[in-house]
Structures are given as structure tokens and as C-alpha cells.
Amino acid sequence: MKKSLLALAALGAFAGAAHAQSSVTLYGIIDAGFAYNNNSNGQKLYAMNSGNLQGSRWGLRGTEDLGGGLKAIFVLENGFNVFNGQLGQGGDMFGRQAYVGLSTAQFGTVTLGRQYDSVVDYTGAFEVGSQWASYFGAHPGDLDNMNNSNRVNNAIKYTSANYAGFTFGGLYSLGGQAGQFNRNQIWSVGLGYSQGPLQLGAGYLNVKDPNYSFFGNNATSRNAATTPTASNMTSRVYSGFASAKTQQVISAGGAYTFGAATIGATYSNTQFKDVSNEAGAGLNPAGYTGGSGKFHNAEINFKYQLTPALLLGVAYDYTKGYGLTDAKYHQGMLGADYFLSKRTDVYIDGIYQHASGTDSTNRTAVANINGLSPSSTSNQVAAVVGIRHKF
């Protein structure tokens, strides 16, 4: 009897140790709200809207201790619409993230799968669309991907450890086209610094054949092999450049906290190069014969923790087109976020955009707030009120 009890005790201790070395965590966010758009193709629009401050999601995150400081890691993250149950990210089961890799505290992490690029990782957190302003408050059309509208398939990614506040990383995505090594190729690099109240970041992104490799890499996207004249780029800010061979983004951002206040800023330069390179009349509605559509974007933002539960924010964003477009977009944002608990908050945001000049489609520019149908005029107003719960 004593031997049996000892054996059971030893087995229990071993099982406990094995459990401690490996873990899987279920997590998620449910974000639901009511949205108003004063001009959706000329009409007012009232709608229930999912994933405003953060995309509604659930995910699995796991680690296994392999010994010697080495760990195996994985993430599978699904996006969904809380109001109708539909899959997000164009119908992908794990469209937000899906990767597996190895990690050490000393040397960093290598992962393989569907992942975020370096612009998102190192500068995305500084724009208010990724903070309190909802995705409506992202830069027009999320032209620089700071709001993480597009993920990267077939990616190999490295993220460094933290060295005295500095981190860096890079990503490379293989196009997977036989005999065309560069087609659909994506690569990015980034650098970040965080020490005390100061945070800084910079990123670079280079995308070949962006209409397909970046904007069209979801399950229900229009694929180059099946419908080569169909565009996946919907915002009028840049949809006229769907035939571009390359999209390039250079970005930088930073924030400084003093007391209860934080001031932040971002800058990006986005270029859609070699327009008309991709064949197909549907990709080049303006009939361009070359050249590049280019944009400067600058944002300044301020947020104040008025009480431990109440956050207030204000921001201004300016986008200036050049090259094949001279469109200008002025955008102002106001928001408030009230935390009922550590996991549940309610929020309200308002966004105003004014457009001028000639846009990517070679027509008079109209306001086109991110994620919305374009206005029929140069102005557009959006507002959203909602609730977010994290688990």
C-alpha cells in the first residue's frame, strides 16, 4: 500500500511539473457598438458595428518549455462580427494571426505563418486609430497599414529580445509563384525604443503586387489567377492605383507621457509605384500609363487620463497626395473611453474628414473615412458609441 501511494505521489508530481512546462491560454475581445455616417454615397447610414476600438476576436496562445531557455510558441487568432457571427478578415478561419515558432529571452523569437508587418509592430500603436479613436480614426483608407488592415501570409518573422530598451525585427514573405520569385513578395523591418515616459518606433514595408499579395490575401479575395481584372483595393484614397507593381511605406512614431497626459505623433510616406504595371482594365480605371501615387501623412494626438476610469482624447491627421494625385485629406477626432472594470469599458468617438483636390481615380476627391463607403461630397462625419469586453 505504501509503495502504491508513493508511486501515485511521484506520478502526480511529474504530471504537475509537465503541466507547468506547457500552457495554452484562451483569450478574446468582444467589441460592439452603434455607428452613424452622415454621408454614405449620399445617404445617412445607421448601423450596428462590430470591432470598433479593437477587432472582435478569440484566440489560443500556447508555450512549451523545451529546456535551456528555449520555448516553442504558437498563436491562432480568429476575427468575427459579433452581430452576425461572420468570419472577419475576408472569411479566413484564423485571419488575424496564425503562427508557430521558437523563442528565447536572450536572442529573441522566430515565427512562421500569417503575421503582422514591422510598420504595425513598431509604429502602429502610436496612431489613435489603434488606441481610442476606433478604426474610423485610422489614416484615410489606412493607406500606411498602421491600423493593421492587412496581414502578411507565408511569413518568416524575427523579433529581437529587449536590449536596454531597444527592440528590432523583420519579416519576409515568399510569393510562392513558380518561376517568378519576386511576385507577391513582401518584406519589412522595424526598430523600437521604450524607456520611462518615452517611446519611439520606425518601420519600413515593401510589397510587390499589393492588390493581390497584401489587399487580396484572404479567403474571399479576388485572386490574380482567377479574376485578374478585379480590384481588392476599395478606398478611393488609393483604389485607382490597384495596378501598381509595388507599395512602399516608410513610417515613424513616438509618444511621451507626463503625469496623466500623453502626447504622440506619427509620420508616414506611402507610395504606389509603377502604376499600370499590373494588366487588366479593372485595375486602372483612370488609364494611367506609368508613374506613382504618393502620400505624406502626419498625425498629432493627445490623450488625458482625467480620472483612473476616464480617458479623453483629441487628434488631427493630415494627408497630402503627390505624383499621380494631389488630393488632401484633413481629419479631426475626439473620443472618450470609460472603464467600468479592468476588462470592460464603454466609449464614444467622433470623426470629421474634409477632402480636396483630385484623388487616385482621377476624379474630384471626396471624403472617405477609413472603413466607410465614400461620401458624395468633400465632407464626411462618423460617430460610434459602444462597449468592449476582454477575456
| Cα distance between residue 214 and residue 206, in whole Å | 10
Note down pLDDT in tens along the chain; length 391 residues: 444 444 444 444 444 444 448 999 999 999 999 999 999 999 999 999 999 999 999 999 999 999 999 999 999 999 999 999 999 999 999 999 999 999 999 999 999 999 999 999 999 999 999 999 999 999 999 999 999 999 999 999 999 999 999 999 999 999 888 888 889 999 999 999 999 999 999 999 999 999 999 999 998 887 766 666 678 999 999 999 999 999 999 999 999 999 999 999 999 999 999 999 987 768 998 999 999 999 999 999 999 999 999 999 999 999 999 999 999 999 999 999 999 999 999 999 999 999 999 999 999 999 999 999 999 999 999 999 999 999 9
In a domain, 2, yes or no: no
Q: Classify residue 358: in a domain, yes or no.
A: yes
Closest CA to 294 of 321, 327, 328: 321
pTM, rounded to two decimals: 0.92
Cell of 338: 470609460
CATH number where 47 lies: 2.40.160.10
Asked if 295 and 323 touch (Cβ cutoff 8 Å), the reply is: no
Domain assignment of residue 274, yes or no = yes
Output the nine-digit C-alpha cell for 309.
Answer: 476610469
Exposure string over 208-241, b if 16+ CB within 10 A, otherwise e: bbbbbbbbbbbeebbebeeeeebbbbebbbbbbb
Domain-embedded: residue 378: yes
Determine the pLDDT at residue 13.
Answer: 41
170 assigned to some structural domain: yes
- The pLDDT of residue 281 is 64
- At residue 199, what is the residue type? Q
Transcribe 115-167 into DSSP letters. E--HHHHHHGGGSGGGTTS-GGGSSGGGTT-TT----EEEEEEEE---BTTEE
Cα separation, 85 vs 82, whole angstroms? 5
Locus of grid cell 503575421 = 115
Cα-only R_g, the chain:
23
In a domain, 1, yes or no: no
Residue 91 within any structural domain of the chain = yes
User: Residue 300: inside a domain, yes or no?
Assistant: yes
Tally the domains of the chain. Answer: 1
Residue 382's domain comprises: 25-390
Distance set, CA 267 to CA 124, 182, 249, 278 (Å): 11, 28, 10, 28
